[in-house]
Amino acid sequence: MVGVVILNMGGPDSLEAVQPFLYNLFSDHDIIRIPRPVQKPLAWLISRLRAKKTRHYYELMGGKSPQKEQTEEQAIALQSLLGEGYKVVVAMRYWHPYTEESLRDLLSYPIDKVVLLPMYPQYSRTTTGSSFNEFDRVYRRLKPKRGKHFSLTTLRGQERPYFYSSTIPVYRINCYHNHPTYIKAMVENIRENLPNWQEYFFLFTAHSLPVSIIEEGDPYKRQTEETVRLIMEYFPGAKYALGYQSKVGPTKWLEPFTDKILENLIEEGYKKIAVIPVSFTCEHSETLYELDHLYGGMARRRGVDYVRIPTLKSHPTFVKALAELVQTISSCENIKGIS
């Protein structure tokens, strides 16, 4: 049986969970690289300072993040499509169900290989990389004892296999930003929610990252730009831009920022603008609060027909893309790298 671990960030499932969720997030060395001895005390301080403001976001969202439920719906849809021979579980990075909880559940089944499937189409060390690292730590600790020991990768340039002593083989789907069926799902989602798309300016938005991470070789920016380019091949003549959102801290982050682009478009006289999240596959505070409440509120107050395209969630074509990725990589044997 093939075990499929859907990896996602997770989100607070109650208002009381906001501060501990933020603590887990800021404790992650893959996101914030400061000396380890001071990271956890600093994470505690930051989470305490930010919790009150962030709690308000979730109050406007109904008291919690919907990411867990939506990711579980994705897992159910994927399980249905894959059928017998596969067991799909959800593992969150910063809140329940944590990676260890999910992996213990998975290993109670007769699993002979594991596929790691991130809900991040574009690879970054801060998202997919962090989830992989957490899986590695938990996997070594649990030390399952079946089968061969090698791990595959789908990211070009990452062909080095990950070895575990006498363990179940692990296959990693690093990214699928240009996978044809994923692109098809994005295109269908836009057309379904924007039938008169010819009348709109397309404003794509992705989570920003510190520029230093990109300068170190992280492919996130390049892959995000490729995703947008491939989508726009299906919308000839439409005007578009790509912005970045959700900056945290004083360091330089990827620009231009989505809200600044939106303000400029309004000043230039655009009256119909469609905002399209391109790096998110589930709804959470970045979409429901920033895009819908902040940006959408500002645009509508200025007379703009503002349409926010929903994230893919369990869109049938997106689930089909995930199934294709899992089936392709899990059928490969003794290969160190898959592009």
Distance (Å, whole) CA 17 – CA 23: 10
| Three-state secondary structure call for residue 79 | helix
Confidence (pLDDT) at 331: 74
CB atoms within 10 A of CB 49: 12
Quote the DSSP letter at residue 14. S
In a domain, 231, yes or no: yes
In a domain, 52, yes or no: no
In a domain, 49, yes or no: no
Q: Which domain holds residue 199?
A: 180-308
Task: State both tokens at 170.
Answer: 């692990």
| Range from 147-156, 287-296, 326-335 that averages highest in pLDDT | 287-296
In a domain, 30, yes or no: no
Residue 297 makes CB contacts below 8 A (sequence gap 6+) with none
pTM of structure: 0.90
In a domain, 25, yes or no: no
Cβ(133)–Cβ(91) under 8 Å?
A: no
Residue 250 — very low, low, confident or very high, per pLDDT cuts 50/70/90? confident
In a domain, 250, yes or no: yes
Mind giving me the DSSP string for 295-333?
A: IHHHHHHTT-EEEEPPP-TT-HHHHHHHHHHHHHHHT--
pLDDT digits (tens, 9 = 90+) for 50-89: 998 899 999 999 999 999 999 999 999 999 999 999 999 9
Residue 61 makes CB contacts below 8 A (sequence gap 6+) with 285, 288, 289
Confidence (pLDDT) at 168: 86
Confidence (pLDDT) at 151: 43
Distance (Å, whole) CA 116 – CA 174: 8
Residue 163 — very low, low, confident or very high, per pLDDT cuts 50/70/90? very low
CB atoms within 10 A of CB 66: 18
Give percent of the chain above pLDDT 70: 91
In a domain, 256, yes or no: yes
Quote the DSSP letter at residue 263. H
147: left (phi over 0), alpha (psi -120 to 50) or beta: left
Residue 38 makes CB contacts below 8 A (sequence gap 6+) with none
The predicted model gives 99-118 an average pLDDT of 95
User: Bridge partners of 8?
Assistant: 92
In a domain, 228, yes or no: yes
Q: What are phi and psi of 203, to 5 degrees?
A: -110, 100
Q: What is the CATH number of the domain that holds 302?
A: 3.40.50.1400
Average pLDDT over the chain reads 91
Confidence (pLDDT) at 34: 84
pLDDT digits (tens, 9 = 90+) for 1-10: 999 999 999 9
Domain count, the chain: 1
Is pLDDT at 146 greater than 60 in this prediction? no
- Stated as kind and residue range, the H or E segment containing 159 is none
